[in-house]
């Protein structure tokens, strides 16, 4: 299963909307450009959510063996984990491309 450009654009737009509405300690909205540490915590949260999604899919697959879950539940959990992992890989690839582009810039 691959992520098409439309789904990726929707995911990026959702993240942008979410991060621009996050209040800081004083109750004001903050922009990510003004707070680079917020970006790192955003990436960290996304990776932890991806990890928990993968663990959930694995746990659901193990419950099928005991007969406690249906096959539909397993397919749904695995599909969600796959989409989450592909989104994380897409973001990683874009970050690597951006880094490489910066390294190609003349000083």
Q: Percent of the chain at pLDDT above 70? A: 66
pLDDT at 97: 93
Q: Predicted confidence band at 27 (pLDDT cuts at 50, 70, 90)?
A: very low
Cα(105)–Cα(76) distance, integer angstroms? 44
Residue 53 predicted with pLDDT over 50: yes
User: Whole-number mean pLDDT of the chain?
Assistant: 77
At residue 15, the pLDDT reads 64
Residue 34 pLDDT: 57
Q: CB count, 10 Å around CB of 82?
A: 16
User: What residue has token string 């004083």?
Assistant: 26
Residues written for the chain: 107
Q: How many CB atoms lie within 10 A of CB 67?
A: 7
27: left (phi over 0), alpha (psi -120 to 50) or beta: left
- Mean pLDDT, rounded, for 56-70: 87
Q: What count of other Cβ atoms lies within 10 Å of the Cβ of residue 50?
A: 19
């Amino acid at each position: 299963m691959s992520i098409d450009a439309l789904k990726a654009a929707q995911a990026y737009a959702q993240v942008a909307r979410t991060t621009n509405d996050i209040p800081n300690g004083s109750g004001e909205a903050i922009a990510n450009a003004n707070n680079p540490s917020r970006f790192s915590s955003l990436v960290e949260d996304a990776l932890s959510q991806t990890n928990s999604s993968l663990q959930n899919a694995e746990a659901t697959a193990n419950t099928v063996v005991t007969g406690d879950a249906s096959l539909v539940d397993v397919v749904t959990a695995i599909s969600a984990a796959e989409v989450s992992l592909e989104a994380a890989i897409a973001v990683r690839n874009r970050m690597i491309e951006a880094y490489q582009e910066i390294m190609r810039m003349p000083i």
